[in-house]
Amino acid sequence: MTARTIITVPADARPDAGSALRLVRLHLESRRVTAALVTVVACALTLRIALRWSWDTYGALQLPLILESGCAAAIGITTGSPFGEPERATGKWLPLLRLGSAITMTATAVIAFAVATLGADLAGGIADVVRNVVGLVGIALLCAALLGGGLAWTGPVVYMIVGAYGLYTDWHPPAITSPWIWPARPPLDLGAALCAATVFAAGIAAVTWRGARESA
Amino acid sequence: MTAGAGQVVGQADGEWRAWRQRLVAGVRLLRLELRRSAMVWMLPVTGALFWYNAFRESMAEPAMWNLRAMTMQHGVLLDFAPPVVGAAAWMGSRDGRRQLTDLIGTVPRPRWTAQLATWAAVTCWALVAYCCCVGVLYGLTARQASWGGPLWWPAVVGAAGIPALAAVGFAAGAWFPSRFTVPIVTVGAFFALGFSSQPRAPQWRVSPTVSGAPSIGPDAGIGTFYHYLPDLSIAQVICVVGVAVAALGALGLLDRASGSWLRPIASSMTAVGLAAVVLAAGLAGTARLDPHGMLVIPALHDAANDRPIGYTPICAHAVIPICLNPAYAAYLPECKRALAPVLAEVAGLPGLPVRMSQGAPVYFGPLNSGFAPSGAGVVIADGSSDGSRQTTLVLPDQLPGEPSGADITVNQFIGQIRLPVAADLIKIMVGVAPGAVRVGAVPGAGRISAASGGGSPAQRAVAAALAIDAGATGAPRANTAVGLAADRFAALPAAVRHAWLATHLTALRAGRITLAQLP
């Protein structure tokens, strides 16, 4: 031992505001949140630009879902940790940081879509965006917990096709009416909203508690 | 001399051995990549997505090759795009994500070669999945379809699209080896495919998800009476091959360590690929709708494909035989039900057609909107011009059980057949068509209606009465002389009416019967 003194930190010690902010910043940087935010903004801008073109009914309904899936996949990827076990062993505030970053990123995506579509004719409206983004992020978080942050995109991307076809069947019977395929339900459908919220809660809980799987 | 020949033989043998070693090494590399490809893990996902979307949608169509193959072409690449592009991008970014680029850059073989092997492995697995999925769909259709054979062009377009999807994903992953690249390029590919299938400028028809004229889509009459035209499919194959070549060329541009010989090849490939895409889009832009519902691209069109397809009709024996294309065999009972009351009205009368056959629908109108097939009406070519007195029947373009839009019931289907056929038969028999039966009339079909003043008042009254009695139309306005006469004639017992017609039909057709002479 070369250190002259050993500083003992009490178990219930709380970081001061500066340290807390630094911790949050380092956590977000390590999760490549900047790249995810760029992706979210790019998706929102793409939606804004795409809404200026003409779309048939299917296209108008499926377009937001596709871009929401891209956002959700990016948010899921931010759960991957580059540090692994050392961070798990020493990061006392890690669950809170995971919880906070996931919820903040989800809220950011919803706000980005809401701002981008202001004054535009968005099929389904903002209620549809909120429900779809929340549900898709939940799927991404669950995938991150099961497969790892690097593969978190698989769930939202696969669900994107499921949802897009569900929307298609609204005109091409037999319609798929399960609330678990919430993009195909009306924006204010309670069952669909509950299913999306349930998946989001499960995803948040899994990522907060366990974090993303580390093998990927 | 002998030694020289031996040298030549030895040199050739050495070159062959070198080539053989390279081939064996390439095969070994491919086998290694096949075992380690991420696409293997995506196979169940791909199969599930195909089943969920393209398979179920295609199988929901009636068992006709054209409907199922064209529906499959529309959905199959959308199902395959996310898993194939995702797996390819994942594999393409593998070295970069694991920081192995510098290490692998030191090997003597060009990096491009190894990357092509990785891409080929993803493509091989994806094509295996594609062949299995399409094979199951075509196999089930072969068991269910009453006539015809597989339409291969829609399947070929899909198969050609798989390497292109893999190449785009792989090149994106190799160029930008970030974990964000995979979802971005995957969602982007799906977005691009979906975007391209929207009704847009004519050049967008080159999208491999477009299976025909955008305003028509899969239709029972397309490729049933006339050959399925491969014009658009050829343009689409040129386009997706161009995309694949351009993407693989872009991949070669990434390899800066392999000497100066590689970059010109890679640049040329990219340029040729992009030129092929532009060419294909240009060709698709020249497409026009032919009368058989398919797109003709003049530069790619083979006039031999314009010939009608020969077939032995399948017939139901009513008062006169009712014959359909064997592809429509399932609808023969409905046709018989639809036409029985009409034929009962005119049975045994002079001038009755000897046979009723199905004709091909005629498609007309602009390509992107407002199309109207003639399927809702009946085309009378000429009741007796060829001596066979054959009446042509065209079935409605919407078939019962077809899940596209209208969701027509059997009773609606029967009504849609009965209305125009009654009008046409009555016109043949009496000389004028009942004016009320004009729904779905085809321009140029040459119908004469009571409303337009054609024929004598007695002819119009008899025509209206026969139409009422056949269940093809409601009663005409009774406050006119023609309406009153029609009501009176329709109220007669069928035997009396039939006997009167048998005696007076020739005179009626010649316009020598007045309203007062009608019973």
Mean pLDDT by 10-residue block, N- to C-terminus, for chain A (216 residues)? 59 71 84 90 93 81 92 92 74 84 94 91 89 96 92 93 88 81 92 96 93 74
CA-to-CA dists, residue A3 to A6, A7, A8, B95, angstroms: 7, 10, 13, 42
In the block, which residue shows the tokens 């043949």?
B428
Residue A21 lies in a domain: no
**pLDDT the model gives residue B391:** 63
Contact assessment for residue A200 and residue B122, using Cβ atoms and an 8 Å cutoff:
no
Of the candidates B127, B83, B181, B50, the one whose C-alpha atom is nearest the C-alpha of residue A154 is B83
Assessment of whether the complete model's pTM goes beyond 0.90: no
d(CA B194, CA B147): 33
Bridge-based pairing of strands B314-317 and B295-296 is: unpaired
Rg (CA), chain B: 32
* DSSP labels, B139-195: HHHHHH-SS----HHHHHHHHHHHHHHHHHHHHHHHHS-STTHHHHHHHHHHHHHHH
CB atoms within 10 A of CB A46: 18
* Choice among A12-26, A115-129, B136-150, B186-200 with the minimum mean pLDDT: A12-26
In the block, which residue shows the tokens 């992009």?
B274
Q: How many CA atoms lie within 13 A of A39 on its CB side?
A: 30
Residues of chain B positioned with their CB less than 8 A from the CB of A73: 183, 186-187
Residues of chain B positioned with their CB less than 8 A from the CB of A149: 179
Cβ–Cβ below 8 Å for A56 and B78: no
Rg (CA), chain A: 20
Q: Which residue has the higher pLDDT, B389 or A115?
A: A115
**pLDDT the model gives residue A185:** 92
d(CA A31, CA A15): 21
**pLDDT the model gives residue B330:** 87
- Count of CB contacts below 8 A, A vs B? 90
In the block, which residue shows the tokens 């970014």?
B93
**pLDDT the model gives residue B254:** 79
**pLDDT the model gives residue B493:** 84
The domain spans of chain B are 25-306, 314-517
In the block, which residue shows the tokens 């969701």?
B407
> H-helix or E-strand containing B8?
helix B2-36
Buried b (16+ CB within 10 A) or exposed e, B251-260: bbbbbeebee
B245-249, B250-254, B340-344, B482-486: range with highest mean pLDDT? B245-249
Contact assessment for residue B239 and residue B213, using Cβ atoms and an 8 Å cutoff:
no
Task: Give yes or no for B49 touching A (CB within 8 A).
Answer: yes
* Choice among A164-173, A183-192, B47-56, B255-264 with the minimum mean pLDDT: B255-264
**pLDDT the model gives residue B1:** 45
Sheet of strand B314-317, all strands in order from the earlier edge strand to the far edge: B314-317, B321-324, B355-358, B390-393
Name the minimum distance, in Å, from the CA of A182 to any CA of chain B: 16
| B181-210 residues touching A, CB cutoff 8 A | 182-184, 186-188, 190-191, 194-195, 198-199
Closest to B82 (Cβ–Cβ): which among A56, A157, A171? A157
Angle B332-346/B410-430 helices, nearest 10 degrees? 30
Amino acid identity at A128: D
Q: Which residue has the higher pLDDT, B464 or A193?
A: A193
With CA atoms as reference, the chain B residue closest to A159 would be B49
**pLDDT the model gives residue B393:** 67
d(CA B73, CA B210): 7
Q: Which residue has the higher pLDDT, A25 or B319?
A: A25
Burial of B492 (0-12, 13-18, 19+ CB in 10 A): middle
Phi, psi of B433 (to 5 degrees): -90, 150
Q: Which residue has the higher pLDDT, B71 or B444?
A: B71
Torsion sign across C-alpha atoms A39, A41, A47, A50? negative
Phi, psi of A175 (to 5 degrees): -70, 145
Amino acid identity at B247: A
Residue A45 lies in a domain: yes
DSSP secondary structure code for residue B63 in this structure: S
* Choice among B131-140, B372-381, B410-419 with the minimum mean pLDDT: B372-381
Cβ–Cβ below 8 Å for B180 and A74: yes
ipTM: 0.86
B384: helix, strand or coil: coil
**pLDDT the model gives residue B172:** 95
A142: domain range? 28-210
- For the segment B219-242, the average pLDDT, to the nearest whole number, is 93
d(CA B3, CA B105): 43
Q: Which runs of consecutive H residues, i.e. helices, occur in chain A?
A: 17-30, 33-50, 57-77, 85-90, 94-116, 125-147, 154-168, 190-210
A24-33, B86-95, B410-419: range with highest mean pLDDT? B86-95
CB atoms within 10 A of CB B52: 18
Q: Best interface-test mutation with B: which of A43, A154, A181 has the largest number of B CBs within 10 A? A: A154
- For the segment B79-100, the average pLDDT, to the nearest whole number, is 91
Q: Best interface-test mutation with A: which of B58, B67, B179 has the largest number of A CBs within 10 A? A: B179
Give the confidence band of B380 by pLDDT, cuts at 50, 70, 90: very low
CB atoms within 10 A of CB B403: 17
Residues of chain B positioned with their CB less than 8 A from the CB of A32: 179-180
With CA atoms as reference, the chain A residue closest to B214 would be A56
Contact assessment for residue B375 and residue B395, using Cβ atoms and an 8 Å cutoff:
yes
Q: Report whether pLDDT(B48) > 50.
A: yes
Does residue B163 have a cis bond before it (omega within 30 degrees)? no
In the block, which residue shows the tokens 């658009």?
B232
> H-helix or E-strand containing B295?
strand B295-296
DSSP secondary structure code for residue B441 in this structure: P
**pLDDT the model gives residue B476:** 55
Q: Report whether pLDDT(B9) > 50.
A: yes
Burial of B409 (0-12, 13-18, 19+ CB in 10 A): exposed
Residue B25 tokens, joined:
């090494």
Q: Report whether pLDDT(B163) > 90.
A: yes
**pLDDT the model gives residue B256:** 65
Beta carbons within 8 Å of B519's beta carbon, 6+ residues apart: B488, B489, B492, B496, B497, B500
Q: Report whether pLDDT(B405) > 70.
A: no
In the block, which residue shows the tokens 């990549």?
B33
d(CA B83, CA B41): 9
Give the confidence band of B154 by pLDDT, cuts at 50, 70, 90: very high
Contact assessment for residue A152 and residue A73, using Cβ atoms and an 8 Å cutoff:
yes
d(CA B82, CA B77): 9
d(CA B478, CA A196): 62
Tallying the residues shown for chain B, one arrives at 519
Burial of B99 (0-12, 13-18, 19+ CB in 10 A): exposed
**pLDDT the model gives residue B350:** 78
**pLDDT the model gives residue B447:** 34
* DSSP labels, B233-261: HHHHHHHHHHHHHHHHHHHHHH--SS-TT
Q: Which residue has the higher pLDDT, B356 or A15?
A: B356
**pLDDT the model gives residue A47:** 92
Cβ–Cβ below 8 Å for A67 and B191: yes
* Choice among A9-23, A149-163, B152-166, B396-410 with the minimum mean pLDDT: B396-410
**pLDDT the model gives residue B451:** 42
Give the confidence band of B381 by pLDDT, cuts at 50, 70, 90: very low
User: What percentage of chain B carries pLDDT values higher than 90?
Assistant: 37
Of the candidates A213, A98, A192, A80, the one whose C-alpha atom is nearest the C-alpha of residue A136 is A192
Mean pLDDT of chain B: 82
d(CA B179, CA B418): 62
CA-to-CA dists, residue B367 to B11, B206, B212, angstroms: 62, 14, 10
In the block, which residue shows the tokens 């004598």?
B456
Of the candidates B360, B419, B352, the one whose C-alpha atom is nearest the C-alpha of residue B391 is B352
Burial of B267 (0-12, 13-18, 19+ CB in 10 A): middle
Q: Report whether pLDDT(B388) > 60.
A: no
Q: Which residue has the higher pLDDT, B220 or A195?
A: A195
Task: Give yes or no for B310 touching A (CB within 8 A).
Answer: no
Beta carbons within 8 Å of B292's beta carbon, 6+ residues apart: B221, B222, B225, B226, B229, B360, B362, B363
Contact assessment for residue B486 and residue B497, using Cβ atoms and an 8 Å cutoff:
no
Q: Report whether pLDDT(B373) > 60.
A: no
- For the segment B513-517, the average pLDDT, to the nearest whole number, is 82
